[in-house]
A = this chain, B = another copy of it.
Amino acid sequence: MDINQTYKNFVQKRHKIADLSYILAVLQWDMEVYMPSLGASKRGDQVGTLASMLHSKSLEVEYVSILTELNSEIEHNPTIEEGIKVNIKEAYKDYVKDSKLDNEFVERHNKLISNSFHAWAEAKNKGDFSLFLPFLEDVINITKEKQERIGFSGTLYDALLDEYDPGLTTESLNGVFEVLKKELIPMIQVLKERNLGLKNPLEGQKFDTIKQFELCKEIAQILHFDFNAGRLDVSEHPFTTNFSSQDVRITTHFNPDNLIDSIWSTIHEVGHGLYELGLPSSEYGLATGQYCSLSIHESQSRFWENNVGKSKEFIEVIYPIFKKYFNDQLPDSQEEFYQFLNKVEPNLIRIQSDEITYHLHIIIRFEIEQALFDGSLKAKDIPMVWNQKVKDYLGLEVPNDSKGCLQDVHWSHGSFGYFPTYTMGTLYASQWQYYLEDTSPFGLNVGQGNFKAILDWHRANIHSYGRRYSSGELCNKATGKALNPQYFIDYLKQKYSIK
């Protein structure tokens, strides 16, 4: 076969598939951001119609035949360029998944997820886990069924992790998380004691949300988020989506009582957005134009949100801009602001947690998920186990399941294996910081306003590779070392002056 011509045909077909999946993303973005409430019913139908056309397109005979041909070619043809191989292999992986999940399964799956989501929302609202339990059991079962249909080697939970971070395993996570538990639990106790008297200098104030929005946009601009290729809008929960690498939409939310939340949520999404903007636009619809993994995606958002955004040096750079918008409402002392921004105190709620406590929430989720899928834990016992672990790790009593195991939506969607990527991203972020500050020719201090140079390093060493490498390989390539959780621990020890 003429490999060049066949690959060209493959790329053309990938473009069409990408077109449809990005159109779906436009519909979903609009639903979250601008759609009037009564539009929901017909929009649901429209999304369903397009999703099923996308499914068919991904299984079209001519495409599958080209793809299969290319996939066998790369096995024995060593002259094919690495990027091309990746694009074919990843597309083949997607095809295998799609082909194993017929319409009957997809419809049953979507219906269950939709019902399960509503049951979860009601259960959370009423603080009654039993309302969610039967749906959760069904979601666990259909998640197992899905993986069995697709087929996997290793454990079932490994297969789930692989969906979000290819190559990530239960075993490696267990190793990393044991280190973190050993270090972070005592650290939180020390800092909790130390912070007992720390007050919120913004307490009781109302922050004009229009000004908050302007401030968020200015900060996004300072961090080189390109508004010619992106937007910042408002939605209930902040998120990032994109319709090409030149049309990246991030959102934030506003609460007049909480200035910090909107600003640092924005910086978090800016991090995700910069990654999508940095993916090579020539690789549209191909793995080489796609993000590496959710862990690496999260390494970008956390890097900008925490390693840069919550550093003393960043506050120094940014505080005059804050003052421009909210002069009278902010303490004169940057130090006071910085201390409160970084206050460590165990919190029952994951998304309200400081950058240390946060990871114990993730570890609890991980331990429960692992036990659910190796059969050692029944879904009905989740609240008991949850509450015990929160007590053991955070020293807190869970007053009700709404503030406990029901707090997060992920399981209602069947997103098991997703939570660990939040922590993995954090670990990678600290490794990037260490490399940039101490090892790289830059010798950058991440906070000191040289955002362009920092971004350029990410562009060259992470963004430009798309999905050519696994998270672990990318880390090795970018920093010369395998992922090491010690960087994160060192970062914390230094930042919080802990011996």
Closest Cβ of chain B to A489, distance in Å, is: 40
Docked CA distance A375–B219 (Å): 61
Q: Which chain B positions have C-beta within 8 A of A36?
A: 227-231, 246-247
Q: When each residue 16-41 of chain A gets 1 if its CB lies under 8 Å from chain B and 0 otherwise, what string results?
A: 10011011001100100011111101
A5 contacts the other chain (CB 8 A): no
Docked CA distance A27–B49 (Å): 16
Indicate if the CB atoms of B34 and A46 lie closer than 8 Å. no
Indicate if the CB atoms of B46 and A22 lie closer than 8 Å. yes
Closest Cβ of chain B to A21, distance in Å, is: 10
Docked CA distance A417–B174 (Å): 71
Closest Cβ of chain B to A108, distance in Å, is: 20
Determine which residue in A16, A23, A227, A233 has the highest number of CB atoms from chain B within 10 A of its CB, and name it.
A23
A435 contacts the other chain (CB 8 A): no
Docked CA distance A30–B27 (Å): 10
Indicate if the CB atoms of B22 and A42 lie closer than 8 Å. yes
Closest Cβ of chain B to A39, distance in Å, is: 3
Q: Which chain B positions have C-beta within 8 A of A39?
A: 229, 243-244, 246-247
Interface size on A, residues (CB 8 A): 36
Docked CA distance A45–B19 (Å): 7
8 Å CB interface, A221-254 against B: 226-231, 233, 243-244, 246-247
Which of B15, B50, B226 is within 8 Å of A23, CB to CB?
B50
Which of B16, B43, B53, B243 is within 8 Å of A42, CB to CB?
B243
Q: Which chain B positions have C-beta within 8 A of A34?
A: 34, 231, 233
Indicate if the CB atoms of A246 and B49 lie closer than 8 Å. no
A325 contacts the other chain (CB 8 A): no
A284 contacts the other chain (CB 8 A): yes
* Chain B residue nearest to A24 in the complex (CB): B23
Docked CA distance A463–B89 (Å): 54
Q: Which chain B positions have C-beta within 8 A of A227?
A: 36
Docked CA distance A23–B22 (Å): 12
Q: When each residue 92-134 of chain A gets 1 if its CB lies under 8 Å from chain B and 0 otherwise, what string results?
A: 0000000000000000000000000000000000000000000
Q: Which chain B positions have C-beta within 8 A of A243?
A: 39, 42-43, 46
8 Å CB interface, A34-66 against B: 34-39, 41-43, 45-46, 48-50, 53
Indicate if the CB atoms of B246 and A16 lie closer than 8 Å. no
6 contacts between A and B (CB under 8 A): A23-B46, A23-B50, A38-B226, A39-B247, A46-B243, A53-B53
